[in-house]
Amino acid sequence: MPQTSTSRSDASIDRWVHRASVQRVLPWLFPIVVLSIWQLASQAGWLSTRVLPEPWAVLKAFWTLTLSGEIGKHVATSTWRALVGFGIGGGLGLLLGLLTGTFRAAETLLDSTLQMIRNIPALALIPLVILWFGIDEWAKLFLVALGVFFPIYLNTFHGIRSVDKGLIEMARSYGLSGWKLYTQVILPGSVASILVGVRFSLGLMWVLLIVAETISAQAGIGYMTMNAREFLQTDVVLVGILLYALLGKLADVLAKGLEHWWLRWHPGYQPEART
């Protein structure tokens, strides 16, 4: 019957799809197909290089910029900005989140203020930021720090508050209190939530940096792309976009690695459950 033969071939496709080697290749299949079509379209003259340069030209631009050391310089500048901004904003977010999460008094005092500030889009502050900091590094660091602050603050606060009350009760009745209770029960219990905030922040970090670097910069990936736009170098613009994508992916991989290490006790991260 036709129906059974269909289901049989479905099953064999299913098996093929689930093989490990195929699993590793499969996610790349779609981008490769898109890139090929794009390359063909450019070569056939359907796409103007002013609109979109061919992938091959982007690669060549990438290569020349790497050889000239320009990419290295810009990536280093951008990464430095991203990390310092993330360190300041994320560190403050963690600190304040721990504070308001742990102590009711701190929550009463600070939380509603922070919630008000949270609702202001960081980018709306650009004019003010330029007035405050001028157009030097601090303006960019401020924007990044402000953006990454809130996801980490909110998730830390939430993480501390949602630690299992039963575990805290148990730990207290087993003689834990103060610092011991905090480091052995409350903090580990909120790590999962804090890491969600970190991953969210890493995404925001690049978005804010892109905007900050397009305002007024002398170096950085954003500066490179804005500069290239003035000279209609669409291939260099695309190199910049590609760099952002790669760096964003890298940050996410690092955050995931952190999750795997810190949450290795979590049922969701067990290699395989056994009883």
Partner 1 sequence: MNHFDLELQALAVHSPPALIPRDASADRAAAPKASSRRPRGGAAVDARGLSKRYGVRGVLNDVDLTIAPGEFVAIVGRSGCGKSTLLRLLAGLEAVDTGQITLDGDARARHQADIRIMFQDARLLPWKRVLDNVALGLDGPDAQERAREALSQVGLSDRASDWPAVLSGGQRQRVALARALVHTPRLLLLDEPLGALDALTRIEMHGLIERLWQRHGFTALLVTHDVTEAVALADRVVLIEDHRIALDERVPLARPRARGAAFDAIEDRVLQRVLSQPGEETPAPAPGIVPLAAWRWAV
Residues engaged in binding partner 1 (CB under 8 A) = 101-105, 107, 160-161, 163, 165-178, 184-186, 188-189, 191, 264-267, 270, 273-275
Q: How far is the CB of 257 from partner 1 (least distance, A)?
A: 18
In whole angstroms, how close is the CB of 51 to partner 1 at the nearest point? 53
Is 124 or 273 the residue whose CB approaches partner 1 more closely? 273
Query: Which of 230/272 has CB closer to partner 1?
Result: 272
Measured distance CA(166)–CA(168) in Å, rounded: 5
Of the pair 191, 242, the CB lying nearest partner 1 is at 191
Q: Do residues 190 and 156 make contact, with C-beta atoms less than 8 angstroms apart?
A: yes
The residue among 127 and 175 lying less far from partner 1, judged by its C-beta, is 175
CA-to-CA distance for 63 and 57, rounded, in angstroms?
Answer: 10
Name residues whose C-beta falls within 8 Å of residue 147's C-beta, 6 or more positions apart in sequence. 85, 89, 122, 201, 204, 205, 207, 208
Would you say 56 or 262 has its CB closer to partner 1? 262
In angstroms, what is the minimal distance from the CB of 95 to partner 1?
16
Shortest Å, Cβ 108 to partner 1: 10
Q: Which of 156, 152, 172, 149 is nearest to 101 (CA)?
A: 156
Q: Which is nearer to partner 1, 159 or 240 (CB)?
A: 159
Residues near 163 by beta carbon (within 8 Å), at least 6 away in sequence: 185, 186, 189, 190
- Minimum Å gap between C-beta 269 and partner 1 is 9
8 Å CB contact between 148 and 205: yes
CB 65 within 8 A of CB 236: yes
CB of 176: closest distance to partner 1 in angstroms? 6
> Which of 68, 39, 42, 70 shows the shortest CA–CA distance to 243?
70
